């Protein structure tokens, strides 16, 4: 589970006007010309609009990535907690940082592991003292939904003299980015979606628009479409450690055309999913918040609705290894 709090627990009839003319012939008024009779043909009915699918999510939204046009909405402007889909903003703030160096090395602190243990949160199992690049931390944040990796990014890109101050500063940057993007129903008090006070929230529409923004970055698209990655990093003992991370988004490799994006689950938010898919020249972005049914199948149904296809009902979800994180 991602950002999981352990609680001891949406698109004639042709009218033909005939004008009778008066013709002047030799100064006399000629009789009106007679119009040829019009043969009435069968009226062609306009094609019926495709019926919108039913989804189990309390909040859902689907948009056309090219123009931002809404394709489906269910309580699209209602604020809800969104668990680890929060990390889309975490990564966006990093990638939007001017002059960001994705090869910058970051040393893993014990504080990151302690945080995960304290919160009972999903982890990339980063080892204290290992040195990972910012790029590797992006994978660690988005694929296994590592809250330790999200904290490492916040600690690295925030300002201040302590880890607490830097992570708080980073959260302020997340809120500033939301304001910049015009996300009026979005706010953050965490860098990973673990919000004990419930003050990290968004609406399906806002979250879809945030993701539309994030997908403009090549590095973001590369990370979120990966089903798994194997990364090597200098270990604290002087050797080399190999990290293998699997993407918790089971839609990848299951629904043709899926290109991301992020799962999220915790007790207050329920199962959440932000997804995107491309068929031909059309790309759509969707959000499901607190889905009581099957978020992956619901996502497939929404993409079928957008693409005019019927493939979701026969979709077989990609299976995760037993050792992989669940979210």
Q: Are 57 and 115 in contact (CB under 8 A)?
A: no
204-214 and 87-95 helices cross at what angle (nearest 10)? Answer: 30
Q: Which DSSP state fits 185?
A: T
| Cα–Cα nearest to 303, from 327, 270, 280 | 280
Instruction: Please tell me whether residue 168 adopts helix, strand or coil conformation.
Output: helix
Q: How far is CA 218 from CA 143, 285, 303, in A?
A: 16, 16, 22
Q: Which DSSP state fits 33?
A: P
Q: Give me 130's structure tokens.
A: 């290992």
- DSSP per-residue codes, 95-135: HTSTT--TT-EEEPPHHHHHHHHHHT-----PPTT-EEEHH
Instruction: Out of 73, 84, 92, 195, pick the active-site residue.
Output: 84
How far is residue 285's CA from residue 272's CA, in Å, rounded to a whole number? 14
For residues 297, 299, 303, 304, the Cα torsion angle rounded to the nearest 10 degrees is 20
How far is residue 132's CA from residue 108's CA, in Å, rounded to a whole number? 8
| Cα–Cα nearest to 95, from 55, 137, 128 | 137
Active site residue 84: yes
Instruction: Out of 145, 195, 202, 254, pick the active-site residue.
Output: 145
Q: Are 63 and 212 in contact (CB under 8 A)?
A: yes
Instruction: Out of 74, 87, 250, 297, pick the active-site residue.
Output: 87
Tell which phi-psi region holds residue 83, choosing left (phi > 0), alpha (psi between -120 and 50) or beta: left
How far is residue 289's CA from residue 16's CA, in Å, rounded to a whole number? 51
Active-site residues: which are they?
84, 87, 145
């Amino acid at each position: 589970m991602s950002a999981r709090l352990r609680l001891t627990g949406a698109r004639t009839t042709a009218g033909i006007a005939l004008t009778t003319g008066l013709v002047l012939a030799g100064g006399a008024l000629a009789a009106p010309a007679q119009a040829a009779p019009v043969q009435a043909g069968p009226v062609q009915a306009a094609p019926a609009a495709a019926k919108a699918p039913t989804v189990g999510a309390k909040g859902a939204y689907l948009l056309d990535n090219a123009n931002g046009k809404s394709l489906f909405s269910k309580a699209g402007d209602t604020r809800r907690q969104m668990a680890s889909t929060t990390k889309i903003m975490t990564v966006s703030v990093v990638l939007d940082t001017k002059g960001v160096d994705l090869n910058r090395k970051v040393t893993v602190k014990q504080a990151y592991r302690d945080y995960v243990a304290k919160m009972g949160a999903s982890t990339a199992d980063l080892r204290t003292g290992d040195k990972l690049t910012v790029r590797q931390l992006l994978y660690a944040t988005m694929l296994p939904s590592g809250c330790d990796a999200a904290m490492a990014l916040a600690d690295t890109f925030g300002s201040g003299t302590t880890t607490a101050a830097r992570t708080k500063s980073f959260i302020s940057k997340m809120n500033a980015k939301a304001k910049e993007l015009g996300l009026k129903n979005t706010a953050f008090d965490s860098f990973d979606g673990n919000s004990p006070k419930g003050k990290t929230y968004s609406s399906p529409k806002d979250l879809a628009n945030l993701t539309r923004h994030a997908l403009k970055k090549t590095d973001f698209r590369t990370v979120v479409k990966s089903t798994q990655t194997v990364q090597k990093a200098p270990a604290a003992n002087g050797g080399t450690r190999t990290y293998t991370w699997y993407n918790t988004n089971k839609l990848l490799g299951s629904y043709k055309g899926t290109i991301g994006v992020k799962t999220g689950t915790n007790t207050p938010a329920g199962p959440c999913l932000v997804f995107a898919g491309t068929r031909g020249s059309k790309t759509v972005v969707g959000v499901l918040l607190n889905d009581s049914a099957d978020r992956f199948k619901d996502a497939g149904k929404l993409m079928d609705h957008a693409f005019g296809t019927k493939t979701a009902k026969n979709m077989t979800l990609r299976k995760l290894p037993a050792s992989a994180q669940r979210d």
